[in-house]
Chains A and B, each alone.
Chain A
Amino acid sequence: MAYRDRGEPSRPAQTDRGANRVVLMRTLVLLGLFGLLTFIPLFGRLYAIQIRDHNFYQDKAIEQQTRDNAVAANRGKITASNGTVLAMSGTVYDVILSPKDFEAVQENWDKVFKNSEGRVLTEKKNYYPRPEAADVAAGLGAILGLDPEKVLDRLGKNSKYEVLSSRVEREVAEELWQFIRDNHLSNSVYTTPTSKRYYPYGSLASQVIGWVNWKNDNKGAYGMEALYEEDLAGETGRVVTAKNGDGKEMKFSFQDYYDAFDGNDLNLTIDNHIQYFCERILEKGIEMFDVQNGGFVIAMDPKTGAIKAWANSPTYDLNDPWAVTDPVMAQYLETVRNDPAAAEGAYGTALEESQNRQWRNKAMNDSYEPGSTFKSMVLAAALEEGVINENSTYYCPGYYVVGESRISCSKKDGHGSQTLAQAVANSCNPAFMMIGQALGAEKFYNYLEDFGFLEQTGIDMQGEGTSIVWKRNIFTAPSTQQNTYLATASFGQGFQATPIQLITAASAVINGGHLMQPYVMESITDAEGNILKQNEPTEVRQVISEETSRRCRTILEGVVDGGTGKRAYVPGYRIGGKTGSSETVESRRGEDRTIVSFLGFAPADDPQIVVLLAYDAPKPVSHGSNFTEDGYYISGGNMAALMAGELMDSILDYMDVEKSYTEAEQAMIDVTVPNLVGQTGQIGQEAAQNAGFTVRTVGEGETVTAQIPAGGAVIPSGSQIVLYLGQEKPADLVTVPDTRGRTAGEAKDLLAQHGLYLKVSGDSRYMSSSAVVASQSINVGTEVERGTVVTCMFADNTMVD
């Protein structure tokens, strides 16, 4: 107050001045307080929030201000060798509920359709009933298959994001969208698209293809889906859009694109037809032979190493990989679930074990003792080294003595004297121990190495197992113990190899000696079909000569042509192979676990396909028995070869391999009888003869009025057909004779005497003298029409491998 006292002369100057000084001083205090002190902490706060914690708040703010929409890249397809799609991706939807927005929807309705007194303005334009929580919950529940009560609960939550349903199909989503529109729910219920993998063939080649785990960001979890994840997945794109507090996108204000790149297609060497044949035969055998541990089939192109089919059992549906559908495992799980004594969580553990078992690719992850199938490699090695030849002979007394141990043959009373071919056909263990001896441990081990039994094959699959083989110095050290190793190794026991190693080595034996690297990926192509990667057949090394390979093929063909593999015989096809009945660690402990297998290839002169088929642990009728409940002798020859024959027939037929019959076969080929009724006698007779039948005519008419058997019947060629000319066929019935115990020729003649026809089934080696009729389709003594076809089931139980 610089300007003092003017105009107020009445006041005592002293008091006035004092008062002024008080005002002055106290105003200065206020200046200090409100002008300075109070604002210091505010600058501090601003600094703390804007500078120190800037990143924290900015991240939080950006999180709520932007919508980061992933633009899913389309995952590439997986196709079979012929282009058939085995795996593809489609769009499904997650259903999201925002209870807070639902509240806003209701509030908005109140604002629009209620006046200030709370009266509902039904007459207002575009009126619709108020969306009530209970109705919406009921509607959503019905569409999504949820409990309306639970939906209602979630509608009451104080949140903006409730996942109501995951991965609903488009049809459901469309129904939902309609419901959202009809009920004016706007953004309180919405869907977000996500990707789903479809496997059109369900369980086909499931362990090879593998699956993507939607619980883990749709990443490949097993098989090719996992191994080629990077190629298949593509690159997820993003659209980052600014949004406002109401969740509306503000495209004009901020938008950022990151393009999505679609994944590439994976084309497999797997042929879905051959794959199907393999799976069918695997399941059929498992059922027939009461197999406990499942099995596997690998089919491969021996020349290239390309995998044509790869079946495992137990298997599962790729569309629902968590479900256990294998009958044996499902039953086991059911037992655990219903077991009152089971520990807590036992079911969960059992379920997990079962799932892991079905997801496993046991034909590659696991190893086993290959058994007699391995003799193919021993044979090849010995022939290549020249230590044996086709003129070598072996005497089998039923056992072979190595050092102090006496190792017996599968045929206890011995095979007697045999040529090399016979020894192989008989799968004679003593003979092979002798061959192993002739080869010597050092060379034997060289071939073990050369055939790839010491290393992984390098197949492009996940988790290839390794073999369990002696170290070289242990195997080759000259001692009694080591002789035993060599002896057992000679017939494929005492060491373990993976099935893929075995079939790869076997391919080398028959394909001219080339050890090929097996592969499953044929090529990777982009969406336009441009090839980005391609697998070319890779030869690892030449193990034996072309000539040795040819000799092996001839000898191995003998296994099917009358040897232990004769059940794999298919008339018209030249199939070679080797049977095997592997001992296991368990069987040596006295448990019932034999792995029966068959290694087969065809055509024998120019192999185009090689298969390895194995069943793990057919269940004996009683502990220690050699027979299953249905009377099958537990051996590779009686089980695996039988199935392999049928499999080979399907595969070779599918592959359009021409059949060529021997004369004896020719006589027994099944031929369909042509329908000749209405033809002239002359033409009918010629047509029947051209089809391979003999003809007998009855009557004098011009045209064929009836025939036995009727057109369409399937009977062996060479059978007699009766044509009736101008007269009806006799209506009398004939009695079915007993053909059991007879050979094919005998049965055919016996039936012909009765005016009946033979159709053979069962053992394809029905032409051999040891195969006899086990059962017939029409019971003995039944009265049937003349010309009826009787199907006779042939069996031959004289073999062991």
Chain B
Amino acid sequence: MPKLKRDLTMEQQLARGPLDLPFLMLVVMLTVIGVIMVFSASYATAAHEGKSPMNYFYRQAIFAAAGIVIMYVVSKMNYQHFRWLSVIALGIGFLLLIAVLIPGIHTNRSDGVKRWIKGPGPIPDFQPSEVMKLAVILYFSARMSKRTSEKKRRYDIRIVTGRIFKALDDWGFMELVPYGLILLAIIVLMYFEPHMSGTILILIPAAAILYAGGVKLRWFAIGGGTVVALLTLIITQTTYMANRIHIWQDPWSDPGDKGFQIIQSLYAIGSGGLFGVGFGQGRQKQLFLPEAENDFIFSNVCEELGFIGAALILALFVLLIIRGYWIALHARDRFGALLVVGVTTLMAVQVFLNISVVTNFLPTTGVSLPFFSYGGTALMIQLVEMGIVLSVSRQVPAPKQG
């Protein structure tokens, strides 16, 4: 522990603690490798689009550099401030989610999907759902951490509604209502985009925070059961999902169209073998594999760096996630712990979903790979999230001596 100075409050002193070096190293390594892989995966696409082959790489590198600076700045902040900032973040999140639905604000896409807000001037386009992911994590952690200190609400048990509320409260339902309403609003708003994968990426970390925060397990059983039932219904009742499942099980049933991307991805991964074809030598990115620099960048990684390279990178992610949870376990308070649980879970889910999709372990859904997939704002927000984790890590107390 650093030497305390008299003119600093204790919290100020705590915020000046050392950040978690292993976590920082992992983040920097993944960011650097990710940017380099963007170069490899994107130059063919860039050249094909008539841009400089370095185009994507430069942009991504600039955002990565800026992101790491911002991450450091965020890590220097006392994360206790995020308690009140979270309310503002949530408000901005909702504003953006509503705004993105307004014509003229979202980008025009041929498929009519409204996920992106046009960035004014030099600011790139960005997804409001990225902001919302962070906002939900911040707000839920802040609220959840105060769970035990919240004043017990009193119900008038003389009237029926009062008795019902009392019963529900005893069951642990009433405390869930605000979380539920927020998530419901998000689901509804994002349904109109539509953006299913984004919704999943908000829901799972939120659920993780609620879980870690101590919400009764029965609600997860009920929630999980509902989700499974709904999914079963959708899969069996709508052709859209049924088709997706069919393509997932047998991409070769439509190799030219719906199964094309996943087949190309498998070709890329499979071509890699043990040692890969070598950095920059991948051929599937030569306009075979769609989105090679984006959602499917990991396929390119597998092709060029082989099983060894891919497994190493996957291992780095796993280490990052484990270290994240380790920080959560050692956090100074519950807010810090829940904050890190949320961010780490988000990271874990994104990595898991992305790699599951490119390896056809799960049906295709549009989840990008943190630190790797091309996209400036996404990378910056990820680094901000990492900054938050590092900020929490600064206040991890040193192990007791002796």
Task: Give me the interface of A with B, judged by CB distance under 8 Å.
Answer: 1-3, 7-8, 10-11, 15-16, 18-20, 22-24, 26-31, 34-36, 38-39, 41-43, 45-47, 49-51, 53-54, 56-58, 60-62, 64-65, 100, 158-160, 242-246, 250, 253-254
Contact = CB atoms under 8 A, between A and B. Distances in A.
Nearest to A51: B307
B325 A1 contact: no
A61 B289 CA distance: 11
B321 to A, nearest CB: 5
B110 to A, nearest CB: 11
B359 A46 contact: yes
Contacts of A20: 334
A42 B356 contact: yes
Interface residues of B, number: 64
Contacts of A245: 286-289
Interface in B254-295: 256-257, 266-274, 283-284, 286-289
A23 B212 contact: yes
Contacts of A65: 283-284, 286, 288
A303 to B, nearest CB: 66
B268 A35 contact: no
B397 A31 contact: no
B29 to A, nearest CB: 18
Interface string B290-333: 00000000000010001100110010011001100110111111
B355 interface: yes
Contacts of B317: 39
A58 B345 contact: no
Task: Give the 6 A-B residue pairs with the shortest CB-CB distance, closest first.
Answer: A57-B270, A245-B287, A244-B286, A31-B325, A34-B348, A61-B267
Interface in B190-236: 208, 211-214
B101 to A, nearest CB: 21
Contacts of A28: 325, 329
A58 B213 CA distance: 48
A159 B355 CA distance: 30
Contacts of B273: 50-51, 54, 58
Contacts of A23: 212-214, 334, 337-338
Given A3-B332, A46-B269, A242 B361 contact: no
B44 interface: yes
Contacts of A8: 149
A3 B333 contact: yes
Contact of B361 (A30, A42, A159): A42
Interface of B: 10, 44, 48, 147-149, 208, 211-214, 256-257, 266-274, 283-284, 286-289, 302, 306-307, 310-311, 314, 317-318, 321-322, 325-326, 328-334, 337-338, 341, 344-345, 348-349, 352, 355-356, 359-361, 395-397, 399
Contacts of B359: 42, 45-46, 49
B360 to A, nearest CB: 8
Contact of A35 (B269, B318, B333, B337): B318
Which of A20, A43, A50, A160 is packed against the most chain B CB atoms within 10 Å? A50
A151 B387 CA distance: 62
* Overall SS of chain A's interface: helix
A58 B317 CA distance: 27
A500 to B, nearest CB: 57
Nearest to A45: B359
A253 B281 CA distance: 9
A34 B10 CA distance: 34
B322 A242 contact: no
Contact of A250 (B286, B344, B397): B286
A27 B270 contact: no
B396 to A, nearest CB: 8
22 contacts: A11-B148, A24-B329, A29-B211, A31-B322, A36-B322, A39-B318, A41-B361, A45-B355, A46-B307, A47-B307, A50-B273, A57-B271, A58-B273, A60-B270, A61-B268, A61-B270, A62-B271, A64-B267, A158-B257, A243-B286, A245-B289, A246-B48
Nearest to A243: B286
Nearest to B270: A57
A523 to B, nearest CB: 49
Which of A15, A19, A46, A100 is packed against the most chain B CB atoms within 10 Å? A46
Contact of B330 (A1, A50, A60, A158): A1
Given A30-B325, A50-B302, A253-B283, 19 more contacts: A1-B334, A2-B396, A3-B396, A19-B334, A20-B334, A30-B341, A31-B322, A35-B348, A36-B318, A38-B348, A42-B314, A42-B352, A46-B269, A50-B270, A57-B269, A61-B271, A61-B284, A65-B284, A244-B287
